[in-house]
């Protein structure tokens, strides 16, 4: 792969082993990965393959046992927890399967909080929040508490929160994992829309439908990358799409 522009994200030799009860679980076993600006990369694989651990390593939520990570060309090995927390406010937005919203804060406050923590003025935080919520079809829900919303709506709030500081990188960990099929389609549509505007996204999912929104799909098995495929979207010959849809004679 050509490395001409500095990758937004680069990992080399990442290893992470979980030590819990029983035998140590080697969740990530030597991963090299490079994501350039504007890419939408999906990481798929069976549950337990270590995809979420990989994403956590990329977002600094967990530290690798060995290997290195670069954000926009800057080595992160020496980052402290506090430094990672700042990065996750400014340069990396994250959405999770279970939304992780603050349950006793209103929708508006959930979205504005990371902006305020990043040092934005209250007025600007409010403006950003208003724009994002209306973009995500949540105008009118500002005063609701997360618990009063559907799963799909909560995930949209989480997306607004993740994007409020315009981070160059969005990480999504099974964002549709607890949603029904309508909610899944909604998340898919929104991720595609932000990607079309240039948002770099790394998405972890076991759902191939969701993964197919990406333009590059990495297959992850047993802690390793086993395939890394660009989806070009050109329909192959006669079979492929029309073959799949063809009603029989």
Of 69, 111, 217, 225, the residue at the interface with other proteins (CB under 8 A) is 217
Pick between residue 57 and residue 214 the one whose CB is nearest to other proteins: 214
Pick between residue 44 and residue 97 the one whose CB is nearest to other proteins: 44
46 binds other proteins (CB under 8 A): yes
C-alpha distances out from residue 23 to 20, 63, 112, Å = 7, 20, 43
Neighbours of 153 (CB within 10 A): 20
249 binds other proteins (CB under 8 A): yes
**Residue 149: helix, strand or coil by DSSP?**
coil
188 binds other proteins (CB under 8 A): yes
Half-sphere exposure of 103 (CA within 13 A, CB side): 2
Pick between residue 108 and residue 176 the one whose CB is nearest to other proteins: 176
Which runs of consecutive H residues, i.e. helices, occur in the chain?
Answer: 51-58, 81-90, 107-117, 122-135, 151-163, 181-196, 208-211, 240-245
Tokens of 188: 């898919």
R_g of the chain computed on alpha carbons: 19
- Nearest distance from C-beta of residue 196 to other proteins, angstroms: 11
Of 45, 167, 183, 223, the residue at the interface with other proteins (CB under 8 A) is 45
25 binds other proteins (CB under 8 A): no
Q: Tokens 């960990």: give the residue.
A: 173
- Nearest distance from C-beta of residue 46 to other proteins, angstroms: 5
Residue ranges that bind other proteins, judged by CB under 8 A: 45-46, 181, 185, 188-189, 192, 207-209, 211-213, 217, 219, 221-222, 226-227, 229, 231-236, 240-242, 244-247, 249
């Amino acid at each position: 792969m050509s490395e001409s522009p500095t990758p937004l994200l680069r990992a080399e030799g990442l290893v992470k082993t979980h030590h819990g009860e029983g035998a140590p679980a080697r969740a990530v076993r030597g991963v090299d990965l490079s994501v350039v600006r504007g890419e939408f990369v999906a990481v798929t694989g069976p549950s337990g393959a270590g995809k979420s651990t990989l994403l956590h390593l990329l977002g600094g939520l967990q530290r690798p046992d060995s290997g290195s990570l670069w954000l926009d060309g800057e080595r992160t090995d020496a980052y402290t927890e506090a430094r990672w927390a700042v990065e996750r406010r400014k340069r990396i937005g994250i959405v999770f399967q279970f939304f992780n919203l603050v349950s006793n804060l209103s929708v508006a406050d959930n979205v504005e909080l990371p902006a305020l923590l990043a040092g934005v003025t209250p007025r600007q935080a409010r403006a950003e929040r208003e724009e994002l919520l209306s973009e995500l079809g949540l105008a009118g829900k500002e005063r609701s508490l997360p618990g009063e919303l559907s799963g799909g709506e909560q995930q949209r709030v989480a997306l607004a929160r993740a994007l409020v500081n315009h981070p160059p990188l969005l990480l999504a960990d099974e964002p549709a994992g607890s949603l029904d099929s309508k909610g899944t389609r909604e998340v898919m549509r929104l991720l595609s829309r932000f990607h079309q505007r240039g948002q770099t996204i790394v998405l972890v999912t076991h759902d191939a439908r969701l993964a197919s929104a990406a333009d590059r799909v990495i297959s992850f098995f047993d802690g390793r990358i086993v395939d890394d495929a660009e989806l070009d979207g050109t329909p192959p010959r006669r079979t492929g799409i029309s073959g799949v849809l063809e009603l029989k004679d």
